[in-house]
Amino acid sequence: MGRDKAGLLVDGVAMAARVAEALRAAGAVEVWAVGGDPAVLGPLGLGVVPDDEPGGGPLPATITALGHARTDIVVVLACDLLHPSAAVVRTLVAALGDAPPEVQAAVPLVERHRQWAHAAWRVTAHPRLQAARAAGAHSLRRGAGGLALVEVHGVDPLFVADADTPESLAGGSVGARHHGASLSPMDIPEIDAAELLAQRVAGAPLIDVREHEEFAAAHVPGAHHIPLGEVVERIVEVPTGGTVYVICARGSRSATAVAHYRAQGIDAVNVAGGTLAWIDAGHPTDTGAWRGTAGV
């Protein structure tokens, strides 16, 4: 990329901040960055744990993360995920938590490949990974080769895609490309909170793609709740007869959903600034889980 990917902006938000937001939304007690520039990561609200082997790749970074952990289960994600999903993180943690104690990792299996840089680990895996590294393992695939693990199926490739090249950022939304279309971030239409208020008064539908806990804490009255991790499978719930507005916390996750909806021919529009901008503007909110029916 020519620079540290953690600070690169996607939909106006630094990549590391997007990953941290997904982890916190999934219920993470603490979120840290392993390695990286504190001058870049500090303003994003991230503390930095010095990498035991700077530049050594995902295996030593994961070993560092597990060595620093103060919880029994740790999720280690690449900082350059284009569309990190709290729902996927929760699925990994649940799968590992439900597994017998001897199972030390939960790994998504996507298109027949284990996504090692997107896994949940028990801290008991730490000495095994250390030993594998000392024996010459250079990758997580080899380092974790002897561990008991659970494979998590059904994860959409959208949520494990990362930014390996400039083209993966400049070439358009991953959500749109994954479903057979191309949509650059400049093509995603947006409105602000004031315009959303006017549209809601006029009866326009609104989809909220945040996680369940976020939605229950505060949401735009009457918003239809479809967490981002369920956007693909619940497409039938989205109105197709006119413009539908999409909101999240700050506008990055909703932009991902908008890209997918527009790739399917739905006239979707993103709400810039998200629910936080709506609240800051003094507009009313509701609390509690969504109890509507299919459709908006």
Give the dihedral of Cα atoms 74, 80, 85, 86; nearest 10 deg.
Answer: 40
> What type of residue sits at position 181?
A
* DSSP code per residue over 97-149: HHS-TT--EEEEEETTEE-TTEEEEEGGGHHHHHHHHHTT--SHHHHTTTS-E
- Contact of 245 with 269, CB cutoff 8 Å: yes
Q: How many CB atoms lie within 10 A of CB 263?
A: 20
Active site residue 248: yes
d(CA 4, CA 16) in angstroms, rounded, equals 10
Return d(Cα 128, Cα 47) in angstroms, integer: 26
DSSP H helices, the chain, are 15-25, 38-41, 58-68, 86-98, 126-134, 140-143, 166-170, 174-178, 193-201, 212-217, 252-263, 274-280
Task: Write down the catalytic residue from 17, 163, 248, 249.
Answer: 248
Cα separation of the two ends of the chain:
41
Residues noted as catalytic = 248
